[in-house]
Chains A and B, each alone.
Chain A
Amino acid sequence: MKSLFRPAQPTSPAVLDDHRPIIRSLQRRGLIRGGLSLGALTMLTGCDVSRPAAVEAALRGISTFNDWFQQQLFNPNKLAPTYPASMVLKPPRFNAYYDIMDVKPVDGDTWKLELAGLIDDKTPWKLPQFAALPQQDEVIRHICIEGWDYIGQWSGVPLRDFLRRIGADTRAKYVNFQSADDYPSSLDMATALHPQTILATSYAGEPLAAPFGFPMRLRTSTKLGFKNPKWITAIEVTNTYTPGYWEKAGFGWFSGI
């Protein structure tokens, strides 16, 4: 007998494509939940095949302490080393939680940057408005949590200039980002105000190419690579902590270098 819940029309495969990131995150969550259930099971049987809850809690506790410790170590005036333009890797190295073939390019004409939270003027911004502001160019090292690195030349509007221009409350704790590839990210305010943190719109003197975050991505010289969201669509200034994509999976939040 045909199930009552089966739709009359079969679902279009395009729907699956559109929601791939959500499906991935659900699968990941399922994996984490599965891991937790396995942990609970080992507690019942009294043998420690994976990480028992007490060890898990201790590791999380030290990780939170490490986030705090790194914030104390962070010097807001310390500039990262910069390099000659001859060392710049062209094109930059692609990296995301999906393959380069799955990049969904963003239309720069219809793109706008939404603003939310503790900001005086929340009018969305269009791309040409950023081009009219003073730009900053920097040749800095990108270091991935995996261990690889490369030198890139990024330019765009310094985030601190932009935050002041829109009347953001810079005493708030966090600057959060939303992106077109469903990759939320959370930055501490001290890093957001660092002189080498920019809303990058160009690479090696050319507009950003689609796979590297066109039209706008974050580049900060004092964080690991995964803390630099690409294809940014919204910025929120807030005192509420929201973990980013990889933080939910277990990477440390501060991740300063």
Chain B
Amino acid sequence: MASTPPPKPAATRKLHPVPIRVMHWINAVAMLVMITSGWGIYDDYVIISGLHFSHTFRLGSWAAESLMWHFAGMWFLVLNGLAYLIYGVFTGRFRERLLPIRIGELVQTVKDTLHFHIAHEDLTHYNAVQKLLYIVVIVAGISQVVTGLAIWKPVQLSFLVPLFGGFQGARIVHFWGMVVIVGFLVVHVALAVLVPRTIWAMLAGGPRVGDRPRANKVTP
């Protein structure tokens, strides 16, 4: 007879909800546009003497075109990044996925990795190194926007310039921020290729996970 349906299982959410997947891929394209167009702009006045980026990897055939790409890509990067930060804070995703980081766990993960015990069986759990790397790249992304604003508007937003020790200081921090992000990208893409399920998870959503334990207690 009509019996009450069994209680819903706790696993109702996918690992990567739709907004995360959309924002991830918008960010991926925007980041690549910003990095490769930035290489086109860099070449006119290099920061490390002798370091040039090959035309093959530059977006834009010369500086004016690269600048046009950079100043178009920035809107996608900033608006999408802002949406991601707001989403991550207010849904509790950042706290759930990226915190806490315990020093002991960090050391153990590094040891395991050096012994080639790379555990990536459980996609729903980030190890301490992963957590730290994601936090570093988020901070680097924010730093790129702030240094970018200092370089773009050193008069209208002149208060930003002294934070980096002057106009050239802002350029140098902007350059090293790119290096950090490119470094992250190399590791991130390499690991994703080694464990292709992670790529599929970022497209289709991945395994179902339990409800956030403290989701309704999150305070901004």
CB distance from B172 to the nearest CB of A (A): 11
**What DSSP secondary structure best describes chain B's contact surface?**
helix
Residue B122 CB within 8 A of the other chain? no
B153 to A257, Cβ gap below 8 A?
yes
Chain B residues, CB < 8 A from A144:
45
Chain B residues, CB < 8 A from A143:
154, 167
B158 to A73, Cβ gap below 8 A?
no
- Closest A residue to B74 using CB positions: A66
B155 to A221, Cβ gap below 8 A?
yes
Residue A54 CB within 8 A of the other chain? no
Stretch at the interface among B61-69, B89-97, B107-115, B207-215: B61-69
Chain B residues, CB < 8 A from A74:
156
A252 to B71, Cβ gap below 8 A?
yes
Partner pick for B68 among A50, A59, A73, A221, CB 8 A cutoff? A59
What 1/0 mask marks residues of chain B from 55 to 83 whose CB sits below 8 Å from any chain A CB?
00000010111011101100100000000
CB distance from A191 to the nearest CB of B (A): 11
Partner pick for A250 among B64, B72, B154, CB 8 A cutoff? B64
Give A236 to B148 CA distance when docked, in angstroms.
Answer: 34
Partner pick for B156 among A75, A145, A246, CB 8 A cutoff? A75
CB within 8 Å of B: which A48-83 residues: 50-51, 58-60, 62-63, 66, 73-75, 78, 80-81
Q: State how many residues of chain B have any CB contact under 8 Å with chain A.
A: 24
Partner pick for A80 among B64, B68, B75, B155, CB 8 A cutoff? B155
Partner pick for B154 among A35, A141, A146, A148, CB 8 A cutoff? A141
Give A78 to B152 CA distance when docked, in angstroms.
Answer: 16
Chain A residues, CB < 8 A from B154:
141, 143, 257
Partner pick for A251 among B61, B67, B152, B168, CB 8 A cutoff? B67
What 1/0 mask marks residues of chain A from 123 to 159 whose CB sits below 8 Å from any chain B CB?
0000000000000000001011111110000000000
Interface size grouping (class) on chain A: 20 to 34
A81 to B156, Cβ gap below 8 A?
no
Residue B121 CB within 8 A of the other chain? no
A148 to B69, Cβ gap below 8 A?
no
Chain B residues, CB < 8 A from A148:
45
With A50-B61, A74-B156 given, can you name 7 additional A-B contacts, CB distance below 8 Å? Answer: A144-B45, A147-B42, A147-B171, A221-B155, A250-B65, A250-B68, A257-B156
Would you list 27 pairs from A and B whose C-beta atoms are within 8 A, ordered by A residue? A35-B61, A51-B65, A58-B72, A59-B68, A63-B71, A80-B155, A80-B158, A81-B158, A81-B161, A141-B154, A143-B167, A144-B45, A145-B44, A145-B63, A145-B67, A146-B45, A147-B42, A147-B44, A149-B167, A222-B155, A249-B64, A250-B68, A251-B64, A251-B67, A252-B67, A256-B155, A257-B152
Using a CB–CB cutoff of 8 Å, the interface residues on chain A facing chain B are 35, 50-51, 58-60, 62-63, 66, 73-75, 78, 80-81, 141, 143-149, 221-222, 246, 249-252, 256-257
Interface pairs A-B: 9 shortest CB-CB: A250-B64, A147-B45, A146-B44, A62-B72, A80-B155, A146-B45, A59-B68, A257-B155, A148-B45
